[in-house]
Structure 1
Amino acid sequence: MTPGVLLLAGLLLFLLSAALGGDGFSRAPSVLSVLAFLVSATLGLLGAGRAVGAAALILAGVTAALVFGWL
């Protein structure tokens, strides 16, 4: 799997968690979204897709902050 595909999967899971959560975010898709972003960031930063990896790392941090109430 390429980092871009994992980044897209993370974005879709994030949108799903927002749609299912009502007022907040649904936990299961959100945690899977954070994991997909982190794997995408790891693969992207280790390989040639450094821009995708950096974007995935930023999105993982923002998603984790929103889901776990750090913001």
Structure 2
Amino acid sequence: GRAYNARNTPHMFVINPEGKIVYEGAIDSKATPNPADIPSSTNYVKAALDESMSGKSVANSNTRPYGCSVKYK
């Protein structure tokens, strides 16, 4: 977490084969624990993986992560 400056859990990172961060932020567009909300959310991680693996630039490469803050000692 420290290596990537993760601030929340979950704070997602997609790293391409060259070691470059191509996405960082929230896992999806809805900060809710309700599983019923998942179908109507945008999965940012899946989109970043799909775009990156297709050789495209990641359209939405940075979003605001949500969740509990990470406490480092």
TM over 0.5: no
Please state which structure has a larger fraction of its residues in helix: 1
Bigger-Rg structure (1/2): 2
User: What is the TM-score with the length of structure 1 in the denominator?
Assistant: 0.36
Tell me: higher relative CO, structure 1 or 2? Use CA pairs within 8 A at least 6 residues apart. 2
Q: Normalised by the size of structure 2, how large is the TM-score?
A: 0.35
